Amino acid sequence: MLVNVFFNYDICEEFKIDELMISFKRKIYQRLLDWKAEGGQTALLIEGARRIGKSTIAEIFGKTEYKSYILVDFDKTSQAVKDAFSDYLNDLDSFFMILSSLYNVKLYKRESLIIFDEIQNFPKAREAVKYLVSDGRYDFIETGSLISIRENVRNITIPSEEESIKMYPMDFCEFCEALDEGQLVEYIRHCFESQTPLDDTLHSKAMMLLRQYMLVGGMPKCVATYIQKNRDFKSVDKEKRNILNLYRNDIMKIDAKYRSRVLAIFDQIPSLLAR
């Protein structure tokens, strides 16, 4: 089992869950660096489930790799921002000046990133990517939750200038790194590459960590809580229940003709796993 988990282990970069001041390493950061190196030829859409760290990784990327960045959160952005997409796409000089003024952020040509967070809540911004990328001044990252993204594209043209990558919860390697077990990760990787067995003591330690990972899971907030609360599984369970409630609320937003069927499947997952 450990062999399969470690097969795709890559170089990682760091980001923070700011409110908990805990640093994690996420493999997707290298994907973002590769995309940036292409020089803004496409916008990057980060797709994934709720609460896996999409917004956080995009914002940390903007802070770390660019001279300035703007985070447009379509969960709570003002009507003035939305109106700019309707009124000024034919005048991008004015469009970018409005964004810069509303967020009080100076934009620099080829050195600034604009993040469209929760893009599924304002499909017009996703459609506008075609014109924004062609303009070539800035880089663009979109983030969105999988179900809602697919629900909210009926009346827009999906831009060909958009590259999509999927993000997932933290895997076992990232979990071990979060628990400051990076040396053990490197040792297991070395053993895999050299086709040699692990030392018995370290194998036992790795299996103990794997069991912890199976109980905590890979949601960043759950892992952060586990670390901050001195590895208290009860606190982690509370966080996981909160996330499940968020998922249930998301299901209630989808098309009514699918809603009851999806809820029924969602509610059956625990019993199906128990089999």
Q: Is the pLDDT of residue 245 over 80?
A: yes
The pLDDT of residue 40: 87
| CA 51 to centroid of chain Cα atoms | 8
In angstroms, what is the C-alpha Rg of the chain? 21
Mean pLDDT for the chain? 88
Q: Is the pLDDT of residue 22 over 70?
A: no
The β-bridge relationship of strands 139-145 and 112-117 is: parallel
Domain with CATH 3.40.50 in the chain: 28-166
pTM: 0.84
SS3 248: helix
The pLDDT of residue 253: 78
Q: In the beta sheet, which residues pair with residue 24?
A: 15
For the record, the structure tokens of 200 come out as 């018995």
pLDDT digits (tens, 9 = 90+) for 110-130: 999 999 999 988 999 999 999
Contacts of 2 (CB under 8 A, 6+ apart): 188, 192, 206, 210
The pLDDT of residue 9: 42
Scanning the structure block, which residue is given the tokens 């009851």? 260
CA distance 110 to 271: 51
CA distance 182 to 70: 33
22: left (phi over 0), alpha (psi -120 to 50) or beta: beta
Domain boundaries 28-166, corresponding CATH code: 3.40.50
pLDDT digits (tens, 9 = 90+) for 31-65: 999 999 999 899 999 999 889 999 999 999 999 99
pLDDT digits (tens, 9 = 90+) for 210-223: 999 999 999 999 99
Can you list the positions of beta strands (E) in 56-211? 68-73, 112-117, 139-145, 162-166
Q: Is the pLDDT of residue 80 over 60?
A: yes
| CA 78 to centroid of chain Cα atoms | 23
